[in-house]
Structure 1
Amino acid sequence: MIRTALFPLLLAFAPLSIAAAPETLDDGFEQAQLVGTLQLQGELFHVQGVEMRGDRIWVTSVDNRQHRGFLHEFDRAGHFLRRLELTDGARYHPGGLSVAGGSIWVPVAEMRPDSSAVLVEIDAQSLEVRRRIRVADHLGCVAASGRHLVAANWDSRQFYVLDLADKEPLRIVPNPSPTRFQDMKFVGDRLVAGGYVSWVSGAVEWLDWPTLRVRRTLRAGAVGPVRPFGRGGPLTGEGMAVNGRDLYVLPEDGPSRLFHFRLDETA
């Protein structure tokens, strides 16, 4: 693969007053331009995932101090609307989320590898829980599309593929990429996933469905899981959403800003 240098991004956030967040962020995505940011109002903890549909933004976060997990809902102006607690006993770590067919899917897991998780289906309008699917492993993110769910375990070593219309057991597939995905979505006939590669680098990747072959990789700077609180410029973050050429990342714990990037045509 031809290595394309990351271009620096420099942005001064004069209208924002976030004491804990830096005023400039220097790391960016290759083949993308920073369009702007949106301040999310309201309490957030350690951000895990973000998803956007219509006039709504949903964010998952974990309160590690109190061992509690939440789904937060905002409008597209960043105003807090409501939240749902997802804590399920020892399972309090909500991961990267996905929306499909009027449902929000969130994995809620124990905070350790090789443990257990529940895939929770939530009604996007009422935020009522529709069903829970138990899995004997830690799951850190899930993508939903029609009848299919694809979830990744701790460090995304494996994908769990579930056909909701089939009684067959979960299919387990090795992750073909070294990237440790934190949030992923179905976008058309591709699976788009973002995560960290090393202590100082991350990536967003496009994988074919259902073969799960990696078709494109966009490199970026350091990522949330490998920096305290995800601060200091890690623009891939743990929360990622994609809409066409628009890429959104939520790399900061509360108070959080949603960063909007526009991908180049070739991306």
Structure 2
Amino acid sequence: MIRKARRYGLTALLLGLSSFSIAAVPGEFVNTIEDAQLMGALKLDGELFHVQGLELDGQRIWVTSVDGGRRKGYIHEFDRATGKFLRRLELTDGARYHPGGISISGGSIWVPVAEMKPDSSAVLIEIDAKTLKVRRRIHVADHLGCVAADGDQLVAGNWDSKLLYVFDLTQNGAVRTVPNPSLTHYQDMKVMGGQLVAGGSLTWWTGTVDWIDMKTMKLTKTLRAGAVGPVRPFGRGGPYTGEGMAIDGRDLYVIPEDGPSRVFHFRLEV
């Protein structure tokens, strides 16, 4: 996300100037994704800005991105077979123009759209996956950068995902917060088989995919990830798990590059 540049400041900038390779920091994980085989990559044919979230079904791919210069946020739809651009919906909501990681459940795509600063505000937007019409908006008094949907339950991460918000939509949106059990700054998350599967970055060159038990909110599994270069701020790449991520069984999909973007398909070994 854009805030990474602020977080690592001058040190990261000097490292970036010295080398844009994914092996710039000795001792860090420099492969693609641990215990995963790269199956291929699909180029997305359409305008994207700074990529944030990824979701897909059997026919379509959805990507959120933020145009920081114009302060506008979007969700873009592509054909899954060809990568052809189909349509997009602007998500800008006043001062809230930063869409985050997204999740689909029950025919709805959930998208957080937040102000571009911590301790601010966000709106969770429920969008009909077929029509891209807005079904519902839930206002939250914090920056939210990602959301996972599972029926009537939502889990969302705030700035750097230091806190995870758990929403119960059957109880008028009752919410509780739990600390992130990982050091990873989650960018995208999904619910699968009673587990919260969340991907994000640790540094400009590394990230993880984590599995968190939904009942206990305890970390149960972690896979390390390297980066695709050249990395930001001068390139358009970064950690494979640092931006959009989707998962379907053993099939993991990530979109680590700003536009023009590719969706990388990995097959998990375990």
- Answering whether residue 60 of structure 2 is matched by residue 56 of structure 1, we say yes
Question: In the superposition, relative to structure 1, how do residues 115 and 221 fare at CA in structure 2: closer, same or farther (>3 Å)?
Answer: same
Letter matched to residue 53 of structure 1: D
After the TM superposition, which parts of structure 1 deviate over 6 Å for at least 4 consecutive aligned residues? Answer: none
State the distance in 2 between where 1:242 and 1:167 align. 29
TM-score (norm 1): 0.86
Equivalent-residue separation in structure 1 for 2:242 and 2:173 (angstroms): 34
The one of 215, 236, 243 aligned to 2:241 = 236
- The equivalent residue for 1:68 is 72
Structure 1 position 27, deviation (Å): 3.5
1:80 equivalent among 66, 82, 85: 85
The alignment-based identity, stated in percent, is 68
The answer to whether the 8 A contact 1:27-1:235 is kept is no
1:207 corresponds to which residue?
212
- Distance, in Å, in 1 between the alignment partners of 2:108 and 2:234 is 29
What SS does the corresponding residue of 1:258 show, helix, strand or coil? strand
* Among 80, 91, 94, the residue aligned to 1:89: 94
Higher helix share: 2
State how far apart, in whole Å, the 2-side matches of 1:215 and 1:125 are.
34
* Aligned pairs (5 A) from 1:35-50: 35-50=39-54
Cα distance between partner residues in 1 of 2:77 and 2:125: 16
Could you list the per-position Cα deviations for residues 175-207 of structure 1 after superposition, in whole angstroms to 9, with x for gaps in the alignment? 111111000001121110000123432100011
How many angstroms does 1:230 deviate by?
A: 6.4
- DSSP-derived class of the 1:170 partner: strand
Q: Does 1:114 align with 2:119?
A: yes
CA contact (8 A) 2:127 2:135 kept: yes
Once the 2 structures are TM-superposed, how far is the Cα of residue 237 of structure 1 from its aligned partner? 3.1
- 1:34, 1:259 within 8 Å by CA — same for their partners in 2? yes
CA displacement, residues 105-137 of structure 1 (integer Å, 9 cap, x when unaligned)? 000000000000000000011110001000000
**What SS is found at the alignment partner of 2:202?**
strand
SS in 2 for 1:198: coil
Q: 1:56 to 1:30 in 2, by over 3 A?
A: same
Corresponding residue for residue 12 of structure 1: none
Pairwise CA RMSD: 2.0
* Number of equivalenced pairs: 242
The answer for unaligned runs of 5 or more in structure 1 is 1-21
The 1:30/1:168 distance shift into structure 2, 3 A limit, reads closer
- The superposition leaves residues 141-195 of structure 1 with CA deviations (integer Å, 9 ceiling, x where unpaired) of 0000011000000010101110011136311111111111000001121110000
1:105 paired residue among 110, 114, 125: 110
Residue 13 (structure 2) aligns with: none
* SS across alignment from 2:160: helix
**One of 24, 28, 34 as aligned partner of 1:30:** 34
- Contact 2:236-2:259 within 8 A present in 1 as well: no
Q: Which amino acid aligns with 2:65?
A: S
| Distance change (3 Å), C-alpha of 1:73 and 1:149 | same
| Structure 2: runs of 5+ lacking an equivalent | 1-19, 24-29
Alignment equivalent of 1:181, drawn from 182, 186, 201: 186
SS of alignment partner, residue 170 of structure 2: coil
